[in-house]
Every structure is written in C-alpha cells, then in structure tokens.
Structure 1
C-alpha cells in the first residue's frame, strides 16, 4: 500500500437562508503508509 492522498478537496455547505459557507477550499493531504 502507498498510503492515502487527497488532492484539491473542496466542501461547501448550503445554509437555510439560501447562502453558503465554504468550509474547505483546494485542500491537499498526503498520509504515508504507517503514519496513522
């Protein structure tokens, strides 16, 4: 196994009033095997 890679993750939540919140924007994460 080579681990886990997350590349350019973005997450937006819609609000009840019609707006939105950008919680994550272009997040990149790399976890090598054995680090967790």
Structure 2
C-alpha cells in the first residue's frame, strides 16, 4: 500500500514543519500573541 506510506511521509514532513514553527515562535518575543 504505497498510498499509506506516502501519507505517512507527508504527515512526518508536516509535523517537522510545525515543530520548526513552534521553535521559531517560542524564540520570538511574546508580543506576537
């Protein structure tokens, strides 16, 4: 089932992007909130 595998890869990529954004936003002053 290649489709499931592809979905998994995309999910992991999305998760990595989200973590990167979280790190960036946590290093930015809270003035953004």
The structure carrying a bigger strand percent of its residues is 1
TM-score, normalised via structure 2 length: 0.22
Compute the TM-score of the two structures, normalised by the length of structure 1: 0.23
By percentage of residues, which structure has more helix? 2
